[in-house]
Amino acid sequence: MSIIVNLDVMMAKRKMSLNELSEKVDLTLSNLSILKTGKAKAIRFTTLEVICKVLNCQPGDILEYREIEK
């Protein structure tokens, strides 16, 4: 997919573990893992909002568009 999720980068900057983030955004570890590893097909705005709030960042810090050459 051309949308890259840089959640691990933001988590490292904020020194937050996956468990801690999972508790704060009220998402299961499984779902967060799906997002972190780029397997997610879609993200709800409500989820994006709470992640940005917890990590104190912008959506653009977590989501990046990169053209993938076929």
Q: Rule CB under 8 A: which residues touch another protein?
A: 27, 31-32, 34-35, 39-44, 47
User: Which stretch of DSSP H or E encloses residue 4?
Assistant: strand 3-5
Closest distance to another protein from the beta carbon of 8 (Å) = 15
Residue 41 or 70 with smaller CB distance to another protein: 41
Six-digit token pair at 53?
């709030």
Closest distance to another protein from the beta carbon of 66 (Å) = 20
Closest distance to another protein from the beta carbon of 42 (Å) = 4
- Displacement of CA 50 from its chain's centroid (Å): 10
- Displacement of CA 53 from its chain's centroid (Å): 12
